[in-house]
Amino acid sequence: MSTMIRGVAASPPRRSAIGRREIASGLIWLLLLLVPLWLPAIGGYTDLATRILIYGMAATGLNLLLGQTGGLSFGHAAYFGLGTYGTGLFLIHVVPSLPLAIIAGTLLGGIAAVLVGPMVMKRRGIYFSMITIAFGQMFYFVAVRWNGLTGGEDGLTGFSRVPLHIGSRSVALGSTGYYYLVFGLFALVMLVVWQILRSPLGHGFVAARENATRLRFLGVAVERQIWASFAISGFIVGLAGSLDSLLVNFTSPANFQWQLSGEFVVMCVLGGMRSFWGPFLGAVIFIGAQDYLSSVTQNWMSLIGLIFVLSVLFFPNGLLGFIRGRARA
């Protein structure tokens, strides 16, 4: 009887918590939808919001591997960079079609992750991280040395956003138009990730993170779970890279470097690796701080490093984890 009473007493707060979560998510989507209206009023600009969405998408893709599956990758910039080059090269050498170019960049980054996955899925801990760095740097040196195709250290130019053709209409994508294109793809990615996390596959990712040994005793192929997580995250990061190249109409080997992978990891840690919105919140903090601090001081990287250190010291579960802990308290 006492157990039933405790269960009944505990259920209303749970429903209340779920309600608050849904309201908070709805407010986030509403704010993102209206960004071109309110962001300029506080001194921002639409391209900054677009960049936050792109990097939030990349961090969410990485977090599927990092926060949900427990694999720390410092090489995911490779799939971001492949997405940028795939889109740019498609527009230059194949056909000036925006949807096909985005698909090409996404496929190039995702297929590379599928091929690399079997070579990293059996490694754990520091060895997993080191081998992902090695593959990332390999792609970096290919981009630097293959001057005839990639432009070498000067980067790839000569492509730009082309109008989006919808039936017989041609829609030019300016700053606001491109923001809403990225917003639509960001929403699609978040929906896919949400469905994955609620599916048996997503529960398998979490189980592989928590106790891989027990999962093996149950007859589950843990390595395949890691491979699947690695591949899906590669496709998402490749899509983010494709969109980033169209934002600036340029890409360079810098998009392959491990420092960019480290920035994605920082975004996940800042916002909270174990939460759905955490990586996006981390991207908002990181990109927002980077944009503001770089305009007021040349030592902006040191200040961002200080923000990260303070976050790890005082918010070990990320900012979103801290907020949730305070709400429960």
Q: What pLDDT does 328 receive?
A: 67
Residue 249 has pLDDT above 90, yes or no: yes
Q: What mean pLDDT do residues 176-183 have?
A: 96
Three-state DSSP class for 136? helix
Q: What pLDDT does 172 receive?
A: 87
Residue 81 has pLDDT above 50, yes or no: yes
**Contacts with 82 (C-beta within 8 Å, 6 or more apart), sequence order:** 105, 108, 109, 112, 139, 238, 241
Work out the burial of residue 309: count CB atoms within 10 Å of its CB; fewer than 13 is exposed, 13-18 middle, 19 or more buried: exposed
Lowest mean pLDDT among 29-43, 129-143, 208-222, 307-321: 307-321
φ, ψ of residue 214 in degrees (nearest 5)? -65, -35
Q: What pLDDT does 299 receive?
A: 85
Q: What pLDDT does 318 receive?
A: 86
Q: What's the whole-number average pLDDT of the chain? A: 90
Nearest C-alpha neighbor of 182 from the set 228, 258, 247, 132:
247
Three-state DSSP class for 170? strand
Q: Strands, DSSP E only, in the chain? A: 164-166, 169-171
Q: What mean pLDDT do residues 236-260 have?
A: 96
The 10s digit of each residue's pLDDT in 96-130 is 999 999 999 999 999 999 999 999 988 888 899 99
The pair of structure tokens assigned to 189 is 């990615």
Work out the burial of residue 302: count CB atoms within 10 Å of its CB; fewer than 13 is exposed, 13-18 middle, 19 or more buried: exposed
Q: What pLDDT does 11 receive?
A: 42
Residue 171 has pLDDT above 90, yes or no: no
- The domain segmentation of the chain, as residue ranges, is 44-255
Q: What mean pLDDT do residues 52-64 have?
A: 97
Is 0.85 surpassed by the pTM of this model? yes
Percentage of the chain lying above the pLDDT 70 cut = 94
Distance of CA 327 to the CA centre of its chain: 26
The 10s digit of each residue's pLDDT in 18-48 is 677 788 889 999 999 999 999 998 889 999 9
Q: What is the DSSP letter of 39?
A: T
